[in-house]
Structure 1
C-alpha cells in the first residue's frame, strides 16, 4: 500500500511536470536597430513575472517559458544602448510569440543622464524619423473593429486619414488616394488593393495585404524623410515578417466573406531559414445569396497570395524571396426593370485585374556599424474593362420613348473599352551607418523602369454606332524614374534631435529633375512631452495615361508634363498624461505647384481625379493647398481596455489657369473617430469586443445643368455623363456619413490548437455615402446615388 502511494505521488509529479512544460513560449532576437547585428548578452525580461528572464546567445536569440498566459510588458537592456519597453504583448495560445527587439545605440553618456526606456508605441520602424510618421503594430491594430486583416482599413482609424465604407482607398488631409504611395520590402509598388484603378484611381475594395503576413510597418502623413520619393500625401512603408524558424504553424479561417490559409515554419533549423505563405479567396455571391449584403448586381470575386522565404547565411548576409499576387474579376448582373431610372442603372461592367509583385532582397552587415540593404523586384498591374449598357426603348427618330423599358432582353451597347497594362522593373539600394552615438546617416538610390501598354476608347454618347468610337489613348512604350537620397539623424542632446536630408528625382519621359530638401527637429523639454517641426519638398509622377492623351488630331499634347510638386510643413505636440494615456496635436500646411490642370476654360485638376482615364489636354500650371489640424487622445491597452478618439478639421483647394481657388473633390472638411475595446482573459481563453464609430464630411461635387440634360434627352441624346455647371465646380458638398464597425471574438486555447469564433462587421448599420449625382430619365430631375457596403464576416479560425 505504501509503495502504491509512492507511485501515485510520482505520477502526480510527472503530470504536474508535464503541465509545467506546456508553458507559453516567448522567444526572438535582440539586434542593433541600425545594422541588424545580433547583440550578445542582452537581457530580456517579463516585467510582471519574477524570474521570467533570459540572456541572448551568440546569435542574439533568447527564449523565455511563461507559466501563465496573459498580456505582459517585455523589457530589454544592453550596455551602451537605450532600454526597450514592449507593452501589452499577448502571450496566449498554441502560436509561439516571436518578438524581435531592435535596440538603438545610446547617444548620451550614461553619467550625464538617466536613460529612459524607449516604448514600442513611441517610435517608427525607420530610426531616422522624427515627425510625420507612426508605426502600425499588427498585433495592436488587429484589435481594431472592422479590420478584416486589412492594414489599409486599420490606418483609417488614424487622425487625418479618411476612407469609404466600400473601399480601401486612403485620402490623407484631403488629398486624392492616388497621391499616396505603397512600398513593400523597400520598393514602390502599385496600390495593392483589389480592383485598384478599375473604377477610380488609387482606390479598390480591400487590400491584398494581410495582417497575418505583415510585420510592424510605418505610415507617414506628411514631411516624410528623403528615403521616400514619388508621393505627395503619404507613404505606407510595409514590411513582410519572416516565418517562424523553429516550428511549423498554420492558420485556417473559414468565413462568410473570405476564406484563407496561412502556413509558416522552418526550412532548415540549422540555418534558421523560414517560410510564410498566405492564400485568401473572397467573394460576394454567397453573402449576397444569404441576404447579408445587397451588392446591387455587382459580382466580385477576388484572390490573393503572398509569400516570403527568409534565408540567412553565415557570412553573406540574409536573403529574402517575397511576393504578392492579386487576381480580380467583376461582372454586373442586369437589375430589375423597376430599379432602372438612369442610363447608369442599365449598365454592365465587365472587368478583370491581375497584379503581381515578385522580388529578392539582401541585407548584410559590413562591420564597423555599416548595414547594406538591396532589393530587386518585378511589379505588374494589368487591367481590362468593357463598359456596356442595356438598350432603352427609343422611337424611330432615336428619341427616348419609355425610359423604364428595355429593348431586347440581351441587347447591349458598348460604350467604352480600356486597357491599362504596366510592368515595372524595380531596384533599390540603401546603406546605413551609425557614425557615432549622435550621428546616423542613410543614403541610397532607387530606379523604376516602366513598360506600358495603354488604350482607352469611347463613343460620344450612349447607343452610338460602335464605328464612331474615339480613341483617346493608345500607347505602347517604356520610361523610367530614378531617385537618390541622403538622410542624417543628429542627436544633439538627450532632449533635442534633428533629421536633415535631400532627395533628387529624375523622370525620363519629360526629362524633369527635382531636388528636394527635407528637414525636421524634435525637442523634448520634459519627460513625457515633445515638440516637433518638419518641412519637405515632395514630387510625384502622375498615372501614365495622363501623359498619353491624344487630341482630335492624334497629337500627344500631354507628353511633356513634368513632375507634380508640393511643399509640406507640419508642427506636432505630444504629451503623456500617464504611461497609457497620450495626447497628440498636429498642424499641417501643404502647398502644391506644377500641378496638371485643364486648359481652354476647363476646371479639371488631377487632384480631383475620380475615373480611371484622363481624356483632355493639361498643363503644369495648377496649384493646390491643404491645411488644418488633427488632435488624438489615445489610451494604450491596460487591464484589457484600449481606446482612441481623434478629430480633424481641414481645408483642401486647387486653382487652375484662371487663378480661381476652388474646393478639391476630397475636401470633406472634418472627420471624427472614436474606437475602443475590452479584452477578458477567461482562464487561457480570450474574449474581445471592440467597436469604432466614425463620421466625416461628404465629398465635394459640381451641380448638374438640368435644363441642358432635358434638352439633350428631348433631342434623343442619351448619355450617362451629366452636363455640369463648370462655373460652379466642386462648390457643393454631400451630407456627412457615419459608419459603425463592430468585432466580437472568442478564442479558445488548447494545448495543440486554438479555436476562434468571431463576428467582424464592417459598416454594420449599412450606411451609404452620397458619391455622385445623375440625371433621372424617369422624372427629369437630379438624383443622388449612394455607395457603401455592409460586409459582415462571420468566421471560424483554427490555429494549429
Structure 2
C-alpha cells in the first residue's frame, strides 16, 4: 500500500510539474534603457511566485502554471507596472522585457500604477501615430500569413491593396516611402522575390518567431528615423532562453517547414537563437499566392548574445534568404497574377543582412549603442517570349533581362543619457554606403531600329556606382509636468550623389487632460531619396549612355498630426487622429505630363522611360482615423479601425489627380476568443476572424485601339488614375487548438486559416491581353485555405 501511495504521489508530482514552466526577462529604466537591479516581479493570482532582478536587471519566475498569466513589476521611486496575458506553454518558457518610468516627483514609495499595453510604442520618444506589436499578434490574426507587413494592414491609416504582395500603403503614401529597420539599422526589403527599390514582396523573409516587441510608426516619427516619408517598421530580435535549451518545429503553407533552437551561451548570461525555414509548397510541388508556378524559397535567421563583459555587451544578428520561381507559359493559367501564356519567365532573388551590435554603459544613466552591418538585396529576372506561338513560324526571343544588386554598409552609433527624471537626451549618427550594380534591358514599347522584325532589346539601366548617405540627429524628451511631455529633435540628411544636405525639425507633445484622456500633437519634416531604379535610369544621347536623373534632390513631406486617446474602460481604449501631409520636390517630367514619382511603387517594377526629371511635383495626403480596441483579457480581444483619407498629386501638367493609392476608405474589424478545455483548463481552442472593406484602387485606363495597333498595352496617360476599381471586401476565419503535454515538456498547436471565405472576386488588374487583343480583368486570390502546425519541446 505504501508503494502504491508513493507511486501515485510521484506521478501526480510529475503531472503537475509538466503543467508549469518559466517566465524570464529583463527590467530596465524607460528613459536610460539601463537595467534596474532589485526590482520586484510578482506573479498575480498565484501566491508565492516572485523574483528580484539581479545586477543585470534579469529575473526568472519558476513553477509558473501554463496559460495566460499576469505580472506586477515594482521598484522604489518608479511607477508600478502590470503586464497582462503572458502566454506560458508546457513546451516553451515565456520571455518578458519591461521598462519602468521613474515617478515624476522623487518619492520614497510607489504610488502610481500603470498597465503596459500595445498602445505605447517601445520608443518613448515617439509621440503620435506609433504602435507597439509583438510576435503573438503577428501569428494570431487570421489572414496574416505570419507576416509583419500584413499585420500592419489591420491598423488605422494602412491599406494593403494587393493580396499577392505585402506592400502596404501608409496614409496614402507610396509603399516606397516605408523604412525597414532591424536592430537600429536600415535594411532592404526583407521579403522573398523583392525587387530593387521596392519595400514589399509576395512572401516575408522575416521570421516572427525571432521578433521581440517592436514599433510601427505612420507619421511624424522621431528624429532618429530618416530617409522615409511614409512609415517605419522598427524591428528587433529577441534573445534566446538564457536558462535552458528549447526547440521548436513548425510547418505552414506560407511560412514553410521550420526548425528553431535556442539556449544559454557561455557563463555571462549569453544566449543563442537560430531558426531556418524552407518553403512547403516547393516540397509539395504546387503553386501558391496567385500563381500555378511553384515558388522555392528559404531563409535563416539568428541572434547570438555574447553576454556582458568589461568591454560591454556584444551580439551578432542576421537574416539570409534566397528565392526562385520559374513561370513556364505552357503551365500558366490565363488568370495568373504574374505571368503570361506566351512567355517563359525566370526569377531569382536573394536578401541578407548581418550585423554586430555593441552596447556599453558609461554611468548609471548613460550608454552608447553602436551597430555595424552589411546587407545585400539582389534579383535576376529574364523573360523569353514566344513569337507566333503554336504555329509553324514559332520562335523564341529574349525579351527582358534584369540583374540588380544593392550592397550596403551601415554604421550607426548613438549616445543616450537620462539627465534626470524629467529630461532625456539622445544624439547619434547613421552612415550608409550603397553599392549599386544594376542592369536592365527590355523590348517593351521599343522600335525596331535594326530591322530584324522585333523590337530592339534596349538598355534602360547599366551602371555600377556608389551612393553615401549621412544622417546625424539629436532628440530630447522633457517631462514638463506629470501631465505634459515634450519630445523634440532635429534630423539631418546628406547625400554625396548631388551633395544635398537638409535639416528636418521634429516635434511631439503629449498632454494628459485627465487619467482617461490624452491629447497629442506631432510635426515633422521628412525627406527621402528618389527610388534607385528611377535615379539611375539610362538615356542614350549621341550614342552615349548617361544618367540624367542623378541630379534629383530628395522628395520632401511635412507631417502634421493631432490625436486624442481615450481609455473607455478596463482593457478598452479609443484613439482618433487627424493628419495632413504636404509633399513637395517630387520627380516629374520637364515637359507637361501626368507622371510623378509619387505614383511609383505600386508593383514589382518602375517606369523605365522617364528621364530628365525635375523636382517640381507636389501632392498631399489627408485623413481621419479611428481605432477602438479591446486588449486581450477575459478570453477575448477586439479591434476596429476605420480610415477615411484622400491622396492627390500634380504632375508637370499642373492637373490635380488621384494617386493610385487613394482608396478613399479602409475599415477593418478583428475579434478572437479562446476557450479553455480539459479538466485543468490548460488546453485551448481558439477562433479569430477578420473582415476588411476598402475603396478600390485608382488606375489609368487602357487605350484599346492604340494597344491593338501597337501589339502592346498603351494607356491613356492624359486620364491617369481617373478610374477606380470596385470596392474591396475580404473575410478571413481562423480556428485552432493548443495542447500542453501532461507527461513531458512539450506543447502542440494547430490552426486552419480560411482566407477570403466568401471567395469574393476582388479586382487585381485590368490589362491588355496581346493574345486575345482585348482588355481582360484578372481577379485577386480567391478562397484559400492556409494551415499550420507547431511543436515545442
Structure 1 and Structure 2 fold alike (TM over 0.5)? yes
Where does residue 220 of structure 1 map in the other structure? 217
Cα shift readout 1:76-117 (whole Å, capped 9, x = no counterpart) = 010122222211112232201121222222223448994232
Asked whether the 8 Å contact 1:284–1:295 carries over to 2, the reply is no
CA distance in 1: counterparts of 2:40 and 2:335, whole angstroms: 69
| Partner residue of 1:595 out of 557, 562, 586 | 586
CA distance in 2: counterparts of 1:383 and 1:81, whole angstroms: 51
| Partner residue of 2:30 out of 26, 30, 33 | 33
SS at match of 1:752: coil
Q: How does 1:398-797 map to 2 (within 5 A)?
A: 411-461=395-445, 465=452, 468-553=456-541, 554-609=545-600, 610=602, 611-615=604-608, 616-617=610-611, 618-682=613-677, 683-710=681-708, 712=709, 717-719=710-712, 722-750=713-741, 751-777=744-770, 780-788=773-781, 791-797=784-790
2:362 equivalent to 1:378: no
Where does residue 174 of structure 2 map in the other structure? 176
CA distance in 1: counterparts of 2:549 and 2:423, whole angstroms: 44
SS at match of 2:546: coil
Cα shift readout 1:341-363 (whole Å, capped 9, x = no counterpart) = 99944233211111110110001
CA distance in 2: counterparts of 1:274 and 1:319, whole angstroms: 11
| Partner residue of 1:364 out of 360, 365, 380 | 360
Q: How many angstroms does 1:777 deviate by?
A: 4.6
SS at match of 1:468: coil
Tell me the C-alpha RMSD between the 2 structures: 2.5
In the superposition, the TM-score normalised over structure 1's length comes to 0.92
Asked whether the 8 Å contact 1:256–1:287 carries over to 2, the reply is no
CA distance in 1: counterparts of 2:360 and 2:654, whole angstroms: 52
Cα shift readout 1:411-445 (whole Å, capped 9, x = no counterpart) = 43222211211100000001111101001111100
| Partner residue of 1:119 out of 116, 120, 137 | 116
CA distance in 2: counterparts of 1:338 and 1:791, whole angstroms: 17
Cα shift readout 1:23-71 (whole Å, capped 9, x = no counterpart) = 3322222222344433222111122223332222333232223453222
Q: How many angstroms does 1:775 deviate by?
A: 2.5
| Partner residue of 1:391 out of 378, 387, 393 | 387
| Partner residue of 2:46 out of 33, 36, 49 | 49
Q: How many angstroms does 1:470 deviate by?
A: 1.5
Asked whether the 8 Å contact 2:493–2:501 carries over to 1, the reply is yes
Going from structure 1 to structure 2, the CA distance change for 1:789 and 1:303 (only over 3 Å counts) comes to farther
Where does residue 799 of structure 1 map in the other structure? 792
SS at match of 1:577: strand
Cα shift readout 1:517-547 (whole Å, capped 9, x = no counterpart) = 0001011111121110100000111222222
Where does residue 397 of structure 1 map in the other structure? none
Cα shift readout 1:604-646 (whole Å, capped 9, x = no counterpart) = 2122114524421211111110001111111111211111111
2:345 equivalent to 1:349: yes
CA distance in 2: counterparts of 1:49 and 1:309, whole angstroms: 34
Q: How many angstroms does 1:240 deviate by?
A: 0.5
Where does residue 327 of structure 1 map in the other structure? 322
Asked whether the 8 Å contact 2:49–2:64 carries over to 1, the reply is no
CA distance in 1: counterparts of 2:487 and 2:258, whole angstroms: 42
Q: How does 1:126-165 map to 2 (within 5 A)?
A: 126-163=123-160, 164-165=162-163
Going from structure 1 to structure 2, the CA distance change for 1:417 and 1:585 (only over 3 Å counts) comes to same
Asked whether the 8 Å contact 2:244–2:263 carries over to 1, the reply is yes
CA distance in 2: counterparts of 1:54 and 1:91, whole angstroms: 17
CA distance in 2: counterparts of 1:294 and 1:518, whole angstroms: 40
CA distance in 2: counterparts of 1:597 and 1:624, whole angstroms: 12
Going from structure 1 to structure 2, the CA distance change for 1:37 and 1:124 (only over 3 Å counts) comes to same
In the superposition, the TM-score normalised over structure 2's length comes to 0.93
Going from structure 1 to structure 2, the CA distance change for 1:208 and 1:336 (only over 3 Å counts) comes to closer
Going from structure 1 to structure 2, the CA distance change for 1:608 and 1:796 (only over 3 Å counts) comes to same
Cα shift readout 1:631-687 (whole Å, capped 9, x = no counterpart) = 111111121111111111101011122222111011111111111111122232121
Asked whether the 8 Å contact 1:549–1:614 carries over to 2, the reply is no
CA distance in 2: counterparts of 1:228 and 1:575, whole angstroms: 28
Asked whether the 8 Å contact 2:34–2:364 carries over to 1, the reply is no
Where does residue 192 of structure 2 map in the other structure? 194
Going from structure 1 to structure 2, the CA distance change for 1:233 and 1:773 (only over 3 Å counts) comes to same
CA distance in 1: counterparts of 2:391 and 2:420, whole angstroms: 76
Asked whether the 8 Å contact 1:256–1:793 carries over to 2, the reply is yes
Going from structure 1 to structure 2, the CA distance change for 1:557 and 1:478 (only over 3 Å counts) comes to same
Asked whether the 8 Å contact 2:408–2:433 carries over to 1, the reply is yes
2:240 equivalent to 1:247: no
CA distance in 1: counterparts of 2:533 and 2:289, whole angstroms: 34
Aligned residues: 773
Where does residue 99 of structure 1 map in the other structure? 96
Higher mean Cα deviation, 251-260 or 20-29? 20-29
Asked whether the 8 Å contact 2:627–2:641 carries over to 1, the reply is yes
Going from structure 1 to structure 2, the CA distance change for 1:541 and 1:10 (only over 3 Å counts) comes to same
Asked whether the 8 Å contact 2:229–2:528 carries over to 1, the reply is yes
Q: How many angstroms does 1:510 deviate by?
A: 1.1
Cα shift readout 1:311-343 (whole Å, capped 9, x = no counterpart) = 112322211101101101021122479949999
Asked whether the 8 Å contact 2:291–2:336 carries over to 1, the reply is no
CA distance in 2: counterparts of 1:577 and 1:486, whole angstroms: 36
Q: How many angstroms does 1:778 deviate by?
A: 6.2
SS at match of 2:146: coil
Q: How many angstroms does 1:408 deviate by?
A: 6.2
Higher mean Cα deviation, 534-543 or 767-776? 767-776
Asked whether the 8 Å contact 2:593–2:653 carries over to 1, the reply is no
SS at match of 2:104: coil
Where does residue 78 of structure 1 map in the other structure? 75
Q: How many angstroms does 1:178 deviate by?
A: 1.1
5+ long unaligned stretches in structure 1:
394-404
SS at match of 1:117: strand
CA distance in 1: counterparts of 2:208 and 2:591, whole angstroms: 48
Going from structure 1 to structure 2, the CA distance change for 1:527 and 1:386 (only over 3 Å counts) comes to same
SS at match of 2:102: coil
Asked whether the 8 Å contact 1:82–1:105 carries over to 2, the reply is yes
Higher mean Cα deviation, 625-634 or 292-301? 292-301
Where does residue 232 of structure 1 map in the other structure? 229
Asked whether the 8 Å contact 1:256–1:286 carries over to 2, the reply is no
Asked whether the 8 Å contact 1:293–1:790 carries over to 2, the reply is no
CA distance in 1: counterparts of 2:760 and 2:372, whole angstroms: 43
Going from structure 1 to structure 2, the CA distance change for 1:296 and 1:309 (only over 3 Å counts) comes to closer
5+ long unaligned stretches in structure 2:
none
